[in-house]
Amino acid sequence: MPTKKLRGFLDDQGVPYVAISHAVAYTAKEIATLTHISNKEVAKTVIVKIDGALAMAVLPASYEVDLSQLRAATGARSVSLAKESEFKDRFPECEIGAMPPFGNLYAMAVYVDESLTRDKDIAFNAGSHNELLQVSYADFERLVNPKVLRFSELPDVESIGAWHL
User: What kind and span of H or E run contains 45?
Assistant: strand 43-50
CATH code of 4-154, in short, is 3.90.960.10
Beta-carbon count within 10 A of 31 CB: 27
Question: 115: which DSSP letter?
Answer: G
Distance of CA 13 to the CA centre of its chain: 20
Predicted confidence at residue 163, as pLDDT, reads 43
Predicted confidence at residue 156, as pLDDT, reads 61
Structural domain boundaries in the chain:
4-154
Tens-digit pLDDT string for the chain (165 aa): 567 889 999 999 999 999 988 888 888 788 878 888 877 788 999 999 999 999 999 999 889 999 999 999 999 999 999 999 999 999 999 998 899 999 999 999 999 999 999 989 999 998 998 989 999 999 999 999 999 999 998 876 544 444 444
